[in-house]
């Protein structure tokens, strides 16, 4: 986090009054000429003033400084000119007595330059936090299907939070933790007893100087335990999102497969075979009825082909981890796999001499689109030397267009962006340009706003409308990839003539 000391050093400004607060985080910056700005502040803000309200006959510098210090102001920046030729000595003395950092802003340094420096530092911090969040989330999802998945998720979560993580079963018994010592400490502190008193959902409480955050696993009707985390500092929005991701992953890991589930999957595989031989309309209508939807919302379709004489693709599909359904599809074999399991499944298959084409993620009702994507990816996979697994969203723009053809590329773009293109052309092009700029800026709203020359709130409002019109989650990485491909292949709209 940016501190006052970091800020003045980066701008070369003299720090007239130093103190411990100079090393505390600056949450935001606020220019004001009010003698009592506290009703408009929260805490840890950096205040800027030209001293307009401090001219004679005003003389209560001690009271002014005390109000700021008691209100949690991080520091005070005093701008020289046009009101004062120098920082008032009385103000310097008052700030020094209270340990309130005070720095001088020369006449040739506009106050807006200080504001911009804080805003840019804050934007970089938010961007870095989002990148770290995505990295940790991806690592936890990749742990699914591997030995020791629960321990791996808990260790990754504890590392990301700089704290600890533990898992309790539905009875409140501690079953796993980020380290053996955490299990012992949690038991001694009686955390399980506190969890038993909580209702299903997300909850938090303080314990022994730590902030403890709990997240129930499963559903209210089928509880599967509780994820507990703890740390000495407050949780941020990104921390809470990471805990929610870990809870989702652990819920998935803990769901077993009994004989009844295997029998059900076998019957649904037979149904899938029938659906695959139907037309596109039937695949769209019947697809959702072939897969149990109580566990997963996003799925991928894989098309498999044998690359070596030792590989019988039907046997591999029957043994592959993660595959829920499989059935012949033309000269290949189609398989349906939860999105969370797809990476491990593809790796397992390619290690056993199978060529695999993987579609983008989607709901099972999008089976027809996913079959087309998987077919394009399989075509690319079979053209490569050695074993290969090709993911449709990850195919490069040029080579992918060569593989699937210009017509198919434009068709995919038209289908994916159809809800936007049905809007009036002015609205459609505004939303398309906003989405393009936002994706080019790696999902950073402030940078997209600067590129478009509009306010960040305008970009946020447009993104909310885009997500609503397309019915997608713009925070999902695969969704962003698909939209970027669609935008790259989109044919420009023309006004009907």
- Give tens-digit pLDDT for 267-296: 455 555 555 544 444 444 444 444 444 456
- Distance (Å, whole) CA 78 – CA 271: 74
Whole-prediction pTM = 0.39
Q: How far apart are CA 250 and CA 452, in angstroms?
A: 41
Are 439 and 487 within 8 A, CB to CB?
A: yes
Answer positive or negative: Cα dihedral of 387, 476, 287, 325: positive
Residue 4 confidence (pLDDT): 94
**Cβ atoms 223, 198 nearer than 8 A:** no
Higher-confidence residue of 271 and 154: namely 154
pLDDT on residue 367: 73
Question: Using a CB cutoff of 8 Å and minimum separation of 24, what contacts does 415-424 make?
Answer: 415/369, 416/482, 416/483, 416/486, 417/470, 417/483, 417/486, 417/487, 417/490, 419/469, 419/470, 419/471, 420/466, 420/469, 420/470, 421/493, 423/469
Q: Helices 406-416 and 477-489, interaxial angle, to 10°?
A: 120
Q: What is the pLDDT of residue 497?
A: 47
Structure tokens that stand for 170 in this block: 């539905």
Euclidean distance between CA atoms 489 and 397, whole angstroms:
8
Maximum C-alpha span of the chain: 96
CB 405 within 8 A of CB 335: no
Question: Is residue 110 exposed (0-12), middle (13-18) or buried (19+ Cβ within 10 Å)?
Answer: exposed
Neighbour order of strands in the sheet with 164-168: 174-177, 164-168, 223-231, 210-218, 202-207
Q: What is the pLDDT of residue 99?
A: 94
Tokens of 207: 């314990």
Total count of residues recorded for the chain = 497
The predicted-structure confidence for 355-382, as pLDDT tens digits, reads as follows: 898 988 887 667 777 777 888 788 878 7
pLDDT of 395 reads 64
Q: How far apart are CA 198 and CA 203, in angstroms?
A: 7
* Residue 145's pLDDT band (cuts 50, 70, 90): low
* Position with higher pLDDT, 256 vs 448: 448
What is the Cα–Cα distance from 104 to 97, expressed in whole angstroms? 17
The DSSP secondary-structure symbol of 3 reads: B
- pLDDT at position 214: 85
Residue 103: pLDDT band (50, 70, 90) is very high
Average pLDDT of the chain to the nearest whole number: 80
Identify the band that residue 261 occupies on the pLDDT scale cut at 50, 70 and 90: very low
Predicted local confidence at residue 248, as pLDDT:
83
Task: Identify the residue with better confidence: 122 or 90.
Answer: 90
Give the C-alpha separation, 161 to 71, whole Å: 29
More confident residue, 466 or 171: 466
Q: Please compute the mean of the pLDDT values over residues 404-418 and round it to a whole number.
A: 77
Q: How distant is the alpha carbon of residue 22 from its chain centre?
A: 32
Q: Please state the rounded mean pLDDT for residues 159-187.
A: 81
Q: How much is the pLDDT for 269?
A: 52
Confidence of residue 102 (pLDDT cuts 50, 70, 90): very high
The pLDDT, as a whole number, for residue 328 is: 78
Show the tokens assigned to 367: 């089976």
């Amino acid at each position: 986090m940016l501190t006052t000391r970091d800020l003045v050093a980066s701008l070369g400004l003299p720090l007239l009054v130093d103190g411990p607060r100079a090393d505390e985080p600056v949450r935001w910056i606020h220019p004001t000429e009010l003698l009592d700005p506290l009703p408009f502040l929260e805490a840890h803000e950096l205040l800027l003033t030209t001293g307009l309200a401090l001219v004679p006959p005003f003389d209560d510098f001690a009271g002014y400084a005390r109000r700021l210090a008691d209100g949690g102001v991080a520091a005070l920046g005093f701008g020289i000119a046009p009101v004062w030729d120098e920082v008032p000595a009385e103000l310097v003395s008052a700030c020094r007595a209270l340990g309130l950092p005070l720095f001088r802003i020369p006449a040739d340094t506009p106050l807006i330059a200080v504001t911009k420096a804080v805003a840019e530092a804050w934007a970089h911090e938010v961007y870095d936090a989002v990148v770290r969040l995505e990295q940790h989330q991806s690592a936890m999802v990749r742990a699914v299907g591997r030995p020791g998945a629960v321990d791996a998720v808990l260790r990754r979560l504890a590392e990301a939070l700089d704290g600890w993580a533990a898992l309790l079963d539905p009875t409140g018994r501690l079953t796993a933790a980020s380290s053996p010592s955490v299990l012992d400490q949690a038991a001694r502190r009686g955390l399980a007893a506190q969890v038993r008193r909580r209702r299903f959902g997300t909850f938090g409480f303080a314990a022994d100087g730590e902030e403890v955050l709990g997240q129930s696993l499963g559903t209210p009707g089928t509880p599967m335990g509780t994820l507990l985390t703890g740390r000495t500092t407050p949780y941020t929005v990104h921390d809470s999102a990471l805990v929610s991701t870990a809870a989702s992953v652990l819920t998935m890991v803990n769901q077993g497969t009994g004989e009844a589930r295997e029998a059900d999957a076998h019957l649904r595989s037979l149904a899938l075979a029938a659906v695959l031989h139907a037309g596109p309309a039937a695949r769209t209508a019947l697809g959702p009825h072939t897969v149990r939807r109580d566990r997963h919302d996003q799925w991928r379709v894989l098309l498999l082909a044998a690359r070596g004489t030792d590989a019988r693709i039907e046997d591999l599909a029957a043994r592959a981890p993660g595959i829920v359904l499989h059935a012949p599809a033309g000269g290949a074999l189609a398989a349906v796999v939860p999105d969370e399991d797809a990476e491990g499944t593809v790796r397992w298959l390619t290690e056993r001499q199978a060529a695999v084409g993987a579609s983008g993620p989607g709901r099972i009702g999008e089976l027809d689109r996913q079959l087309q994507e998987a077919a394009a990816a399989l075509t690319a996979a079979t053209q490569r030397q050695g074993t290969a697994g090709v993911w449709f969203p990850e195919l490069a723009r040029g080579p992918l267009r060569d593989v699937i053809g210009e017509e198919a590329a434009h068709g995919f773009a038209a289908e994916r962006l159809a809800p936007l293109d049905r809007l009036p052309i002015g609205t459609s092009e505004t939303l398309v340009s906003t989405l393009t700029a936002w994706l080019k800026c790696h999902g950073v709203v402030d940078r997209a706003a600067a590129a478009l020359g509009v306010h960040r709130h305008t970009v946020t409002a447009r993104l909310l409308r885009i997500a609503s019109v397309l019915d997608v989650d713009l925070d999902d990485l695969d969704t962003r990839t698909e939209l970027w491909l669609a935008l790259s292949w989109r044919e420009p709209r023309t006004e009907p003539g």
